[in-house]
Structure 1
């Protein structure tokens, strides 16, 4: 009983912190998610034995550079950038042992591609034509939460077919489909309230969030499996670490960012 109460309270505090920081002001959004990035880097360091030297400094510089002003002017160059960085990370899912952790250069590449750059692009998501639209990034989080919740509910109820057993034995195809359908329905409902973005675009965003969010979850599971641990940390009692809670959004956010800034 005590564990359930602790899990519920820590979950409520985490969600309240996310929502509150987004809605209060862009400055609180920047500040809280900078702290989240640092905590995720710390947890990731422990997963792959990442060196402290320069990692946090470089991540901070990247993050600060993206505050309201992205590094690259071309939207399509951003797409090429994140694709070229994420493909090697995604490839690690399909090999027996993660190869990028075998060298110091690989460590720094992962810190950039998997943590720093996604957070830097995440804070750009709510900015459309230079104006801060907090409900957009909040809606992306809602889509993530809806997808994860229904994937768990459907998977634990009727899930039988393992999705990728050697990486995440609890995930099922049925659960993934449940999460996808829930995200698409969520995208439709959001489009009824945030009409500045058309329905078709919210549906596509929902699909991006589901697909890349699932990849992010699987990739973090692969890192944890190789490290021999269940959670990235115990910073959020009953939920694990911040990387456990943010693995989906940090992987999906760069693609949502590029898509939003192409269509607007």
Structure 2
């Protein structure tokens, strides 16, 4: 418990610093996190017998994130499209030289890793630039609401939980925990709306609902992945907490939806 608390404290400090230290630190940090998550995904999938093309996949992950991120720094990022066409071809070419009974399974999981990890972090990164220039309000609020949802769901589920939410993939999750997480997250959004006036408090509350709902599905999807290969934690990089995918599972599905929600309806 002590190790978990210490790790959690430093994790929160680093995450907050990554958002508050300016756009260059923000972009570099989440590029690093997205690639570490991709590497963790490939290692997990490797335990099931699939052999994704890790080197080519991680190269493409870097290029995808950098290409999306550079749209907010310069209008001359199109040259990366040329590199992406060659680097994505490498995923197929590399498989030609590997003795594998299921080459297209390896190729499919190589691309799935990029879609599952790098693309969501690209959308999370875009939250900071949704108004055209860097603004830490949206990514910071996203993280605070995501953590609040996890905390509220854990506490409510522990003390009030009786009815299972999705026992097949996550036996400990309950409806009481889910509702508690939603209520606490909406309350956090209401408080944030008094300090971050970028959008109306109803929009902040709507974001909270999306994060609670879709973040829970993200957690379940990651649980489904781990159960499919019979492991408890996605990794061991965070002592007492498991891997990075364990910490960011809610973000992976919620970030693209929240970005689309803001971009299409309120910006």
Number of the residue aligned with 2:84 = none
Give the whole-Å Cα distance in 1 for the aligned partners of 2:118 and 2:246: 16
User: Would the aligned equivalents of 2:34 and 2:118 in 1 still touch at CA under 8 Å?
Assistant: yes
Aligned twin of 1:114: 116
1:9-158 equivalent positions in 2, closer than 5 A: 9-49=6-46, 50-69=52-71, 103-158=105-160
Q: Unaligned 5+ residue runs, structure 1? A: 71-101
Unaligned stretches of 5+ residues in structure 2: 47-51, 73-103
Q: Deviations over 1:71-93 (max 9, x none)?
A: xxxxxxxxxxxxxxxxxxxxxxx
Query: Larger RCO: Structure 1 or Structure 2 (Cα < 8 Å, ≥ 6 residues apart)?
Result: 1
Task: Determine the structure 2 residue equivalent to 1:77.
Answer: none
Question: How many residues in Structure 1 have an aligned counterpart in Structure 2?
Answer: 231
Aligned partner of residue 66 in structure 1, secondary structure = helix
Alpha-carbon distance, 1:68 to partner: 4.8
Q: Residues 203-261 of structure 1, C-alpha deviation per residue, up to 9 Å, x if partnerless?
A: 11111111111111000000101111110011000000111001111221111111111
**Does the CA contact (< 8 Å) of 2:42 and 2:110 recur in 1?**
no
For the Cα contact (< 8 Å) 1:68–1:124, is it kept in 2?
A: no
TM-score between both structures, scaled by the size of structure 2: 0.83
1:68–1:127 contact (8 Å) kept in structure 2: no
Whole-Å separation in 2 of the counterparts to 1:177 and 1:215: 14
Q: What residue is the counterpart of 1:5 in the other structure?
A: 2
Rg larger in structure: 2
TM-score (norm 1): 0.84
State how far apart, in whole Å, the 2-side matches of 1:173 and 1:16 are.
31
Q: Which runs of 4+ in 1 moved over 2 A?
A: none
